Structure 1
Amino acid sequence: MIRVLVVDDQPVVAEGHSLYVQRVPGFEVVGIELDGAGALRRCADGGVDLVLLDLDMPGMHGLEVARALQAMRQGPDIMVLTASRDVPSIREAVRSGAVHYVIKPFAFATLRAKLLHYASFAAAATGDREVLDQGEIDAALAALRDPAGQQLAKGMSNETMAAIRSAIRAEPDGLSASRAAEIIGASRVTARRYLEHLADTGGCERVPVYGRAGRPEVTYRMRMLS
């Protein structure tokens, strides 16, 4: 059983993540902490294998917590769950030992997949021993990573999704399905399907545009984070 500590300064969010973890076979939640100092004290007591760690917390920032956990003898592994989408934070989290970086908000299926990949890695990398060869190392690391990334619905391609993401980044004020279709060279129906998938999975947000007769037009833009 993999013992998990949930760390998030928002109690409702922390409880939600805890409930998610408890639905995944092979994992148990051993505690919830609302700040970095509490997380370090709990981990120092032992009995924690994996920390689900928020970054933007008052007092001690999550990256400081991650670095302190890395310095801890036989410290736990770290999986970052955060609303921070900036590349420097991602790079620093990786440098600080994060095995995964999951952007809020996310669905249960997303966290479940990351946890199960981690469980496969933990099983392959357990014990104080020497590996047989390079292949054993490669297999352990492959178990940790999901080469397909976030699973798309049937008939959707990673290439088209990448084009849609680029279109949204290029027009931060928002774009319609028609405009997205024009940019990526696809039909409006296709563009809207990808945009809706992104909105449903937290990749962008829907913004209704009023002022015309009939139903308001929906545009899609990068999520505005507080």
Structure 2
Amino acid sequence: MIRTLIVEDDPAVARMHQRALERLPGFVVVGTVDTGAAALDRLLDGGIDLVLLDIHLPDFSGVEVLHRLRRLSDEAVDVIVVSSANDGITVSQAASARIADYLVKPFSRAVFEQKLGSYRDAGRSPRERIDPAPLGQEDVNALVEAGRIPDRRLPKGLSASTARLVESAVPVEQAASASEVASTCGLSRITARRYLDHLVRTGNLQSEHRYGQRGRPEILYRRR
């Protein structure tokens, strides 16, 4: 049996995933959690073969869960991302942390069962894949095409590597200003602000305002 953990902050969606898995031979749901921190705690306890992972979690993103999992655990845990996050940066970041598949919401029950059935029928236990290779660009492109994910190219003058650097400079559990991110990345404030605003538009970050005693409010950025 493929021991599966569901990481999803919407209770209705989590129940839907659980019911679908209960109908599929070969899977057993060992738990459901609704935050990134709870997911990591459960995963580091061991005994999980597969994770169905949402990206938009209330404390930190599923991408952060993925990268922390790969850094902190030697266990061969497979991950299928199940999320409405459909921008190219998020898909690439998830793929770089070695995922088995990427399923874009919304989808039909038939698509869900086909994806999970294909994973099950691959015939290899996750424990036999001790060091799965990272997905290459062709693999990412295939995932994008299969999920009908739009090709959201970066605006002219922005680079994907710098976008990843800027996003990683935003703390996981607190907001940061453009000046703070610029200092961390070694960029000018104006350049950092361009990347931060782009990441807000793509849904990777969210912005908020901090009001001082006088002057214009300061814009802060935080992880979704």
- Structures share fold, TM-score greater than 0.5: yes
What SS does structure 2 have at the residue aligned with 1:6?
Answer: strand
C-alpha distance in structure 2 between counterparts of 1:3 and 1:56, whole Å: 23
Q: How much is the aligned-residue C-alpha RMSD, in angstroms?
A: 3.0
Report the counterpart of residue 11 of structure 1 in structure 2.
11
RCO comparison, higher one (Cα < 8 Å, 6+): 2
Q: 1:121 to 1:56 in 2, by over 3 A?
A: same
Supply the AA of the counterpart residue of 1:32: T
C-alpha distance in structure 2 between counterparts of 1:39 and 1:95, whole Å: 19
Q: Does 1:26 align with 2:4?
A: no
Give the share of equivalent positions with the same residue, in percent: 35
Supply the AA of the counterpart residue of 2:91: I
**Contact map agreement 1:43 1:75 (CA 8 A) in 2:** no
Q: 1:13 to 1:24 in 2, by over 3 A?
A: same
What SS does structure 1 have at the residue aligned with 2:124?
Answer: helix
Offset, 1:18: 1.1
**Contact map agreement 1:6 1:51 (CA 8 A) in 2:** yes
Report the counterpart of residue 107 of structure 1 in structure 2.
108
Report the counterpart of residue 36 of structure 2 in structure 1.
36
What SS does structure 2 have at the residue aligned with 1:3?
Answer: strand
Offset, 1:29: 0.5
C-alpha distance in structure 1 between counterparts of 2:70 and 2:55, whole Å: 15
Q: 1:125 to 1:7 in 2, by over 3 A?
A: closer
Report the counterpart of residue 74 of structure 2 in structure 1.
73
Offset, 1:120: 2.7
Supply the AA of the counterpart residue of 1:117: S
Supply the AA of the counterpart residue of 2:3: R
Flag as ranges the 4+ runs of structure 1 deviating above 4 A.
Answer: none
Q: 1:114 to 1:82 in 2, by over 3 A?
A: same
Report the counterpart of residue 83 of structure 1 in structure 2.
84
Report the counterpart of residue 48 of structure 1 in structure 2.
48
**Contact map agreement 1:69 1:75 (CA 8 A) in 2:** no
C-alpha distance in structure 1 between counterparts of 2:127 and 2:57, whole Å: 32
Query: How do residues 188-199 of structure 1 correspond to structure 2 at under 5 angstroms?
Result: none
> Max radius of gyration: which structure?
1
**Contact map agreement 1:36 1:57 (CA 8 A) in 2:** yes
**Contact map agreement 2:7 2:53 (CA 8 A) in 1:** yes
Query: How do residues 1-226 of structure 1 correspond to structure 2 at under 5 angstroms?
Result: 1-71=1-71, 72-123=73-124, 127=128, 149=146
Offset, 1:2: 0.3
Supply the AA of the counterpart residue of 2:109: F
What SS does structure 2 have at the residue aligned with 1:123?
Answer: coil
**Contact map agreement 2:35 2:59 (CA 8 A) in 1:** yes
C-alpha distance in structure 2 between counterparts of 1:124 and 1:34, whole Å: 26
Q: How many residues align?
A: 139
Scaled by the length of structure 2, the TM-score of the pair is 0.55
Supply the AA of the counterpart residue of 2:121: S
Q: 1:122 to 1:88 in 2, by over 3 A?
A: farther
C-alpha distance in structure 1 between counterparts of 2:51 and 2:83, whole Å: 13
C-alpha distance in structure 1 between counterparts of 2:22 and 2:69, whole Å: 23
**Contact map agreement 1:21 1:29 (CA 8 A) in 2:** yes
Unpaired segments ≥5 residues, structure 2: 131-141, 153-202, 204-224
Q: 1:109 to 1:41 in 2, by over 3 A?
A: same
